[in-house]
Structure 1
Amino acid sequence: MAINYSLKTSWMVVCFGSAILWFSAVQPRLKPLSVIPKVKPKPKMAQVLPATDSLKMAIAGMSSRIVVDLSEARVYSYWGKQRIATYPVAVGQPGWETPTGTFKVLHKQLNPVWKQPITGEIIPAGPDNPLGDRWIGFWVDERHHIGFHGTDDEKLVGKAISHGCLRMRNKDIRALYNQVSLGTPVIVRP
Structure 2
Amino acid sequence: MLTHQPITRCFMVLCFGAAALLVAAEWASPQLRQPPPVGSPKALWRYEGFGIMSRVSQQAKETRLIVSLAERQLQLYVKDQLTASYEIAVGQEDWQTPTGSFQIRQKQEYPAWQHPITGEVVPPGPDNPLGSRWLGFWTDGKYAIGFHGTNQEEFIGQAVSHGCIRLRDRDIRDLYEQVDLGTVVVVNP
Alignment TM-score, normalising by the size of structure 1:
0.70
Residue 175 of structure 1 corresponds to: 174
Offset of residue 56 of structure 1? 6.3
Which of the two has higher C-alpha Rg? 1
Offset of residue 60 of structure 1? 3.1
Q: 1:85 to 1:56 in 2, by over 3 A?
A: farther
SS at match of 1:57: coil
Matches within 5 A, 1:105-124: 105-124=104-123
Cα contact 1:105–1:184 (8 A) shared by 2: yes
The runs of at least 4 consecutive aligned structure 1 residues that moved more than 3 Å come to 53-56
The alignment-based identity, stated in percent, is 50
Offset of residue 62 of structure 1? 2.2
Offset of residue 54 of structure 1? 6.1
Q: RMSD over aligned Cα, in angstroms? A: 1.4
Offset of residue 61 of structure 1? 3.6
Residue 126 of structure 1 corresponds to: 125
Structure 2: which amino acid aligns with 1:123? V
Residue 20 of structure 2 corresponds to: none
Deviations 1:70-123 (A, max 9, x none): 000110000011001000110000100000000000000000000001111000
Matches within 5 A, 1:1-190: 57-190=56-189
Cα contact 1:60–1:183 (8 A) shared by 2: no
**Number of corresponding residues:** 138
SS at match of 1:176: helix
Cα contact 2:86–2:171 (8 A) shared by 1: yes
SS at match of 2:56: helix
Alpha-carbon distance between aligned partners in 2 of 1:177 and 1:61, rounded to the nearest angstrom: 12
SS at match of 1:155: helix
Alpha-carbon distance between aligned partners in 2 of 1:182 and 1:78, rounded to the nearest angstrom: 15
Alignment TM-score, normalising by the size of structure 2:
0.70
Q: 1:137 to 1:189 in 2, by over 3 A?
A: same
Cα contact 2:57–2:180 (8 A) shared by 1: no
Structure 2: which amino acid aligns with 1:166? I
Alpha-carbon distance between aligned partners in 1 of 2:128 and 2:60, rounded to the nearest angstrom: 30
Structure 2: which amino acid aligns with 1:161? V
- Structure 1 unmatched ranges of 5 or more: 1-52
- Structure 2 unmatched ranges of 5 or more: 1-51
Cα contact 1:157–1:168 (8 A) shared by 2: yes
Offset of residue 59 of structure 1? 1.7
